[in-house]
Amino acid sequence: MKRRLWSSVALTAAAAALTASCALATAMYMTSISADALTGRWVVSDTAVSLTFREDHTFVTEDFGRYLEAEDCGPSGLPSGRWAFDDPSMGSGDEAVTHGSVLTLSSPDCTVSVFLFGEEDDPAMCPTFDPDAGCPRTGYLRRDRT
């Protein structure tokens, strides 16, 4: 009986450690960039998906409706709107914030969260409901180098 109890305890502890490590891994791999580093065109390689950020906190997208997170935004999937970094103390986009690791893209009809991962000098972004899940469906957006 004691052996079965210890096996259950060990299994529960392992599951808890794996769950905690997933959240920790996301925090370790998220990156913070400045608004200057954000502005410009971001693309998913080998697709028509793109997201272009402007200095005036506006953005435009191409084929962004492929992301599950943008499907609720209508048939065009959030074609344009305003962007802001999330302020951790406020929990939503604030255009006064000049750098961050989470963005809010918004239009009158829709809001989408975008998370930044990787290295500060080579970030990737992912519109997702769950940053631990990554971007398996459409892919990560990276700065357009062309």
Note the pLDDT of residue 24.
37
- What would the pLDDT profile of 58-103 be if each residue is shown by its tens digit? 999 998 887 778 877 877 778 999 999 987 665 666 777 888 999 9
How does the average pLDDT of the chain come out, rounded?
77
Rounded CA-CA distance 94/41 in Å is 21
Rounded CA-CA distance 60/43 in Å is 12
* Range with top average pLDDT, 51-55, 69-73, 129-133: 51-55
Rounded CA-CA distance 114/10 in Å is 36
In this prediction, residues 43-52 reach a mean pLDDT of 88
In the predicted model, is pLDDT for residue 132 greater than 90? no
pTM score, two decimals? 0.74
In this prediction, residues 133-146 reach a mean pLDDT of 80
